[in-house]
Amino acid sequence: MWLQPDVWKNLPVLPLVTAIICLGGCTNQPTEEQLEIWRNEAIARNAEIVADNAKKNQPMESNLVIQGETATGKSVKFNWQQVGVLANTYVQTTDPNYVIDRNQVFNFRGLPISKLLKEFGHQSNVTEVTFLSDDAYQITVSLADLLTYPIILAIANNGKPINRDQGGPIYLVFPYRQYPEIKQKYDESFWAFYVSNMIVGTEKVQLRVGKRTLNLAALDQLPQVTLTETVGYRIGWPSGKVKLHGVRVRDVLSLAGVQLPTLGEVVVRGKAQVYRSTANPMSFSAADLRECEILLVTRWGEDKQLIPAKLGGPVTLAFSSECKTKTSNIRWVTFVEELIIQP
């Protein structure tokens, strides 16, 4: 019986090589013909990888949402075409993430954040703005700096859309060349790739559960639980254990009048694209909720301060490191917006 070609491809290479060599009398030298076949296979596989990467690197389209403590408190969503229209500001600067040549100057075109802030306003207590990316990466910049310097959400570089491997389609760019002082304050880690949300100050708690939307006062009615844990994502927080205060996901479900079926799951949706994937959702079973303290936290520290956007607030999913859920890939979720019941 002959193996089908696609079966060949999936076999481990080494045993196959040994087998073929031994058929030909157990020398250690593959024949010229065999080498030629392997060479062609390698070339074909390589072409496949190159094509695949090219596809992944297509500049993609992205929406941009501006929200939080804007003048009206409402959020605005721009589609890709509207983003393009707003991108009327040019910044010539080096790019600290262009490691091939850190002195090379690029001409970025993007949306001027100072103008967006003036257009949509901000409440008087606001001191910072947080940018969130598709991969849930987030960085926070002071409002004063955003109003002072031409910091832009770039969508083009030297006249071309920005590929994903260069931080596109929307890349936060700082005017390093014109304002060297900005470089001291905001290093390359502030150049956020694939930005999707600009959060002015911190949003109000608005948690969608089934048909209900719960605010902070509603969550505060539930039994309060404190978890002392090292925060499960790499932003803003003090290192080591911190006190997190919130409510149990299972209590939130009952408050909203939602029943979780015995074999059902609750999906925790965060704002970032990675938390909205339907293929790989962050979900917990009824058993997880029963056996673990899975919390939605809104406050932290000894003085129970509200969790600001800078730390992934106002609502963050947290659970104990001792919690053994059936799904091992669960992570802490920032900017939790919705609990979805799946039967």
Ligand X SMILES: Nc1nc2c(c(=O)[nH]1)N[C@H]1C(S)=C(S)[C@@H](COP(=O)(O)O)O[C@H]1N2
Interface residues toward Mo ion, by CB under 5 A: 189
Please select the residue that binds ligand X; options are 149, 174, 191, 319, rule is CB under 6 A. 191
Question: Which of 294, 315, 310, 308 shows the shortest CA–CA distance to 213?
Answer: 315
CA dist., res. 234 & res. 116, Å (int): 28
Please select the residue that binds ligand X; options are 89, 133, 166, 334, rule is CB under 6 A. 133
CA dist., res. 55 & res. 74, Å (int): 36
Comparison of 193 and 319: residue with beta carbon closer to Mo ion: 193
Question: Which of 272, 273, 268 shows the shortest CA–CA distance to 330?
Answer: 268
Which pairs with CB-CB distance under 8 Å and at least 24 residues apart come from 117-121?
Answer: 117/143, 117/146, 117/147, 117/200, 118/147, 120/66, 120/70, 120/71, 120/72, 120/76, 120/200, 121/70, 121/71, 121/72
Q: Does 154 bind ligand X (CB under 6 A)?
A: no
Q: Does 194 bind ligand X (CB under 6 A)?
A: yes
Q: Please report how close the Cβ of residue 20 comes to ligand X at its closest, in angstroms.
A: 41
Question: Which of 116, 270, 112 shows the shortest CA–CA distance to 200?
Answer: 116
CB-count exposure of residue 198 (10 Å: 0-12, 13-18, 19+): buried
Structure tokens of 336? 């939790």
Q: Which residues pair with residue 248 across a beta bridge? A: 295
Which one of 20-28, 190-198, 208-216, 284-292 is the stretch in contact with ligand X (CB under 6 A)? 190-198
Q: Please report how close the Cβ of residue 193 comes to Mo ion at its closest, in angstroms.
A: 11
Please select the residue that binds ligand X; options are 31, 53, 79, 97, rule is CB under 6 A. 97
Buried b (16+ CB within 10 A) or exposed e, 40-49: eeeeeeeeee
Which one of 36-44, 82-90, 185-193, 294-302 is the stretch in contact with ligand X (CB under 6 A)? 185-193
Q: Please report how close the Cβ of residue 102 comes to ligand X at its closest, in angstroms.
A: 12
Q: Does 111 bind ligand X (CB under 6 A)?
A: no
CA dist., res. 192 & res. 131, Å (int): 8
Q: Please report how close the Cβ of residue 147 comes to ligand X at its closest, in angstroms.
A: 23
Which one of 67-75, 122-130, 184-192, 202-210 is the stretch in contact with ligand X (CB under 6 A)? 184-192
Q: Does 188 bind ligand X (CB under 6 A)?
A: yes
Please select the residue that binds ligand X; options are 193, 319, 332, 335, rule is CB under 6 A. 193
Restricting to residues 236-275, which ones interact with ligand X according to CB under 6 A? none
The 3-state DSSP class for residue 45 equals: helix
Q: Does 135 bind ligand X (CB under 6 A)?
A: yes
Q: Does 335 bind ligand X (CB under 6 A)?
A: no
- Is residue 176 within 8 A of residue 144, CB to CB? The reply is no
Q: Please report how close the Cβ of residue 306 comes to ligand X at its closest, in angstroms.
A: 25
Comparison of 38 and 233: residue with beta carbon closer to ligand X: 233
Q: Under the rule (CB under 6 A), what is the footprint of ligand X?
A: 97, 133, 135, 137, 188-189, 191-194
